[in-house]
Structure formats: structure tokens, C-alpha cells
Homo-oligomer: A and B are copies of this chain.
């Protein structure tokens, strides 16, 4: 049921979906309550496709794998990115996914507030990156040459009016080796390193005082 339209585009309509199923028109309403129902189910299937951490792994590699798997799944189902969190009635796969990840972090030594911090930053980053990546006009090779060049040509005063943008395009983005997708690893590594540091500070602050270190782990220390 999902396969048909994730392959296709976001032009999924009740009439087309019915057509795809041999069924003729709007007898879909005997099996689902509304189109929202169908989207709920599709989102739950997407969550079901994401890799879950397995108990043995070190938390950094587990979270790295989870992030990469999420990114891959969302690249396969770009329509899901904008919808993932907005469903008000999470399905069983969604609940199971969240529960497993939280349990995994707790077992790895994260307090509840720290686990919430980790989930928030990792999921925000991964979903945000997936969104930007999905909206890139890439050719199959993963480069953005064509589109960037067309923008540059559209406005030949680019290099005058927007010199820094022009320089970044010329000296980085348009270079043969560059692919935006590679930026993912840098950010993910930075975040995981930061979490490791925050975790160490929380669990054993080497120097006994340090009342509230700036930036990480400050608020919501309640409970």
C-alpha cells in the first residue's frame, strides 16, 4: 500500500490510490476513516523501517548508526520528512521505536533529562539535514553543479552583489569532489562528541565544584 506512492511522488490522492488497487473509486472509506488515517499508517511504516540500536553496542556507534539509518530512510521517503512528527496519534512502530531508543540511552548511563537532550538534538539535526538534502536539486551523482550554475548565470552580478556566496560556490560547492551529503558526517561527529562531553560532566565532574558549566547540561536538572 505504501510502496506504490513512496515510489511515486507526493501526488497521492484517494482516487489515484484506489485506481492503483484495482478498486474503482471511493470505497476506500470502508477500510479507513479518512486520508489522515492512511498517512498515520504510512508514517508508522516509515518508523518501522528505521534501524534500532542493539543492546551490545557502544552508545556513540549505536547513535551514529541510528542517525545514518534515519537519514537513509527519510531519503527514501522524502514526503515523510514534513509529516513525521506532526501525527497526533503515533502508531505501534513509532512508540516501540521511541521506547527502545530511550531505554538504550538509559542503559548507557544517560539520566532522563540527558536522554531527552540527546534525543532532541540528534533528531532535530537529522530531520533538519534530511529536509535540506531533500530540497536540493541534485543530479543522480549527488552534486549540485547544474542548479548552482544556473543560479549564478541567472544573476551575473552575483560575484559583485553577493561576493561571499559567489566565493563559496566557486571555491567549494562547484568543485568536482564536493557533495553536500558529506556535510552530514561532520555535524553528526560534532554532536556525538559534545554529548560525550556533557555526559562525562554530568556523571563525574572531575573537579568537585563547577556549579553550572556554560552551554551544556544547565536547565531542566529537576526531578
Contacts and interface: CB of A to CB of B under 8 A. Distances in A.
| 7 nearest A-B pairs in the assembled complex, by CB-CB distance | A128-B128, A189-B215, A121-B187, A124-B128, A86-B135, A190-B194, A99-B162
A137 to B, nearest CB: 6
Interface string A90-123: 1000011011101100100000110111001101
Count this chain's copies in the assembly: 2
Given A96-B162, A116-B172, A172-B112, A124 B123 contact: no
Given A151-B90, A186-B219, A222-B175, A127 B131 contact: yes
A85 interface: yes
Interface stretch (A32-40, A46-54, A163-171, A203-211): A163-171
Nearest to A162: B99
A138 interface: no
B186 A120 contact: yes
Contacts of A112: 167-168, 171-172
Contacts of A81: 82
Contacts of A135: 85-86
A11 interface: no
Contacts of A95: 155, 161-162, 165
A183 interface: yes
Contacts of A186: 117, 120-121, 215-220
A56 interface: no
